Amino acid sequence: MAQYSEWLLRRRFRLVVVLLIQCAIVVTCVGLTAYAAARVQERQGREAMTERVLAVARSLAELDQVRDAIGRVDAEQELQPLTELIQQASGVDYVVISDAEGIRITHPVPAARGRPVSTDPSGVLAGATFVGTEEGTIGTTLRAKVPVYRGGDVIGAASVGVLESEIAADLRSSLMEMAPWVLLAVLVGLTGAAGVSAAIGARVRRLEAENAELGEQRRLSRALREQTHEFRTRIHAVYGLVESGEVDAALEYLAELAPVTGTDSRDSVVADPRMRAVLGAMTAEYESQGGRLEIDPLTSIDAGALDSDDVSLVSNLVLNATEAAGPGGHVHVLVLADELGTEVAVADDGPGVDPQALPTMMEHGYSTKEPGDRNATRGVGLAVVWQIIQDRRGDIEVGRSSDGGALFTVRLPASPGPGRKAGHDRAVGDRGGAGVRGRR
């Protein structure tokens, strides 16, 4: 039990580790995807903003009103309202127009007007266009500077900019809109990982159960082969003793193999010698355990009506019933056999049979007893019974006995063989395939 608990803990630990690894992979993949999406969003936003400030600066530099006003005394009064309108319409943070000396004509801050620009204007005044991030009067901005031409000469510059803090705020807003989808992707991924882990765990458990069942089947098959070989060896020994006339020696040998005490089977109501011997031995054996094996007085067996399969079926049913009833229990047996077939009813006062177990109770290895010796052969008797029923195309009904235990009723058509009537083959065909039924 301790080993099983330890094995179960190890298996659960492995499943938890697998689940954690899957969750880590999901979170990492979603996180990397979200990071890549954020970087793409930032780059696209910056590129769009760069194109905007550059387009606004170029449009402003190409206005005839700007070209004509630069250099005049009233340039500020004419251009300041224009730049404020453009600033508001385009969504930029500042629009500045300066003259050929780098002196500001317009600016959002009145005190800055008429003063030199805060950055080196020489490149733009030489005819170059500048786009980049610089520190200005109102803060760090992404800006575009474009020269203003008149008659082929540079007479000033148009500068348009957006605060970097505004760009960062726009990015944060975009990321906040994307966050719920990222969380949803994480939840879906984690749920999928948990589902995959559960499916893998279920598959592993099924494989382990199938492997254990296969091992049990192999063990039972090996035990049956060994017992069959040993049984044949003993039968050969008994046959040799009987053939040579050593009846007493044969009886002594059989007594060593299966000690029998008590009832004399010659007084039994069972006329068939093989069945009488089997039931007599099982009766004596069960009585030695304090139990009672009762042969119904209505038992009727015609001469030659039973074959080895019938005897094996009855003995396995009775053995199963005595084990179910346990020491001190009560087992009742009725056997009817004639030229048409065999009917066997075996009842006990044990715990009964769960109807839910009917589909599996006839399989090799099925047993209601507690696990004991691992080398013991278990769950074989009913499997032998079911095999005989299938071979003979009979049927079995499992119900409740009058004592509250199980009641097994088996009906077998006569097996074909010498002395059987032709009508028996038709009886077999009329029965159809083997069947098992349960009733409360």
Higher pLDDT, 359 or 123: 123
- 373 is a domain residue: yes
CB 348 within 8 A of CB 321: yes
Please tell me the predicted confidence (pLDDT) of residue 200.
Answer: 77
Q: How far apart are the first and last CA of the chain?
A: 35
Residue holding tokens 């507690």? 370
Q: How far apart are CA 326 and CA 321, in angstroms?
A: 8
Residues with Cβ within 8 Å of 67's Cβ and at least 6 positions away in sequence, in order, are 148, 149, 150, 155
Query: What is 303-368 written as a DSSP string?
Result: TT---HHHHHHHHHHHHHHHHHH-TT-EEEEEEEEETTEEEEEEEE-SS---GGGHHHHTSTT---
At 132, list the tokens. Answer: 């980049």
Q: How far apart are CA 210 and CA 207, in angstroms?
A: 5
141-155: average pLDDT? 92
Q: Say if residue 259's pLDDT is above 80.
A: no
Query: What is 87-121 written as a DSSP string?
Result: HHHHT-SEEEEEETTSBBS--SSGGGTTSB-SS--
- 52 is a domain residue: no
Q: Say if residue 176's pLDDT is above 90.
A: no
CB 348 within 8 A of CB 404: no
Same domain? 158 vs 278: no
CA nearest to 275, candidates 292, 295, 257: 295
- 93 is a domain residue: yes
At 218, list the tokens. Answer: 């192999």
Give the C-alpha distances (Å, rounded to integers) separating 183 from 190, 265, 424: 10, 82, 75
Same domain? 148 vs 284: no
Same domain? 277 vs 407: yes
- 344 is a domain residue: yes
Q: How far is residue 288 CA from its own chain's centroid?
A: 51
2-22: average pLDDT? 72
CB 341 within 8 A of CB 413: yes
306-324: average pLDDT? 91
Please tell me the predicted confidence (pLDDT) of residue 146.
Answer: 95
Please tell me the predicted confidence (pLDDT) of residue 54.
Answer: 93
pLDDT band at 344 (very low <50, low <70, confident <90, very high): very high
CB 310 within 8 A of CB 272: no
Type of residue found at 239: Y
CA nearest to 349, candidates 293, 308, 389: 293
Q: How far apart are CA 422 and CA 420, in angstroms?
A: 7
Sign of the torsion angle spanned by Cα atoms 208, 211, 216, 217:
positive
| pTM of the predicted structure, to 2 decimals | 0.43
- 194 is a domain residue: no
- 24 is a domain residue: no
Q: Say if residue 435's pLDDT is above 60.
A: yes
121-147: average pLDDT? 90
Type of residue found at 173: S
pLDDT band at 185 (very low <50, low <70, confident <90, very high): confident
Please tell me the predicted confidence (pLDDT) of residue 248.
Answer: 81
CATH number at 159 reads 3.30.450.20
What percent of the chain shows pLDDT beyond 70?
A: 84
Residue holding tokens 């046959």? 239
- Give the domain extent around 338: 268-438
- Residue 272 per-residue DSSP state: S
CATH number at 391 reads 3.30.565.10
- 18 is a domain residue: no
Q: Say if residue 238's pLDDT is above 60.
A: yes
Q: Say if residue 258's pLDDT is above 90.
A: no
Q: How far apart are CA 163 and CA 141, in angstroms?
A: 4
- 94 is a domain residue: yes
Q: How far is residue 386 CA from its own chain's centroid?
A: 33
pLDDT band at 286 (very low <50, low <70, confident <90, very high): very high
Report how many domains make up the chain: 2
At 58, list the tokens. Answer: 């170029």
365-372: average pLDDT? 52
Q: Say if residue 264's pLDDT is above 60.
A: no
69-80: average pLDDT? 90
Q: Say if residue 297's pLDDT is above 80.
A: yes
Please tell me the predicted confidence (pLDDT) of residue 23.
Answer: 82
Same domain? 297 vs 422: yes
**81-95, 337-351, 370-384: least confident range:** 370-384
Please tell me the predicted confidence (pLDDT) of residue 268.
Answer: 59
57-79: average pLDDT? 90
pLDDT band at 97 (very low <50, low <70, confident <90, very high): very high
How does the average pLDDT of the chain come out, rounded?
81
Q: Say if residue 144's pLDDT is above 70.
A: yes
Please tell me the predicted confidence (pLDDT) of residue 240.
Answer: 83
Please tell me the predicted confidence (pLDDT) of residue 194.
Answer: 78
List phi, psi (to 5°) of 239. -60, -40
Question: Last residue of a domain, which of 97, 131, 165?
Answer: 165
Q: Say if residue 376's pLDDT is above 70.
A: no
Please tell me the predicted confidence (pLDDT) of residue 420.
Answer: 43
Question: Last residue of a domain, which of 150, 165, 180?
Answer: 165
**20-24, 69-73, 94-98, 139-143: least confident range:** 20-24
Same domain? 144 vs 288: no
Higher pLDDT, 426 or 395: 395
The most confident of the ranges 202-211, 306-315, 416-425 is 306-315
Same domain? 297 vs 429: yes
Q: How far apart are CA 124 and CA 98, in angstroms?
A: 11
Question: Last residue of a domain, which of 112, 132, 165?
Answer: 165
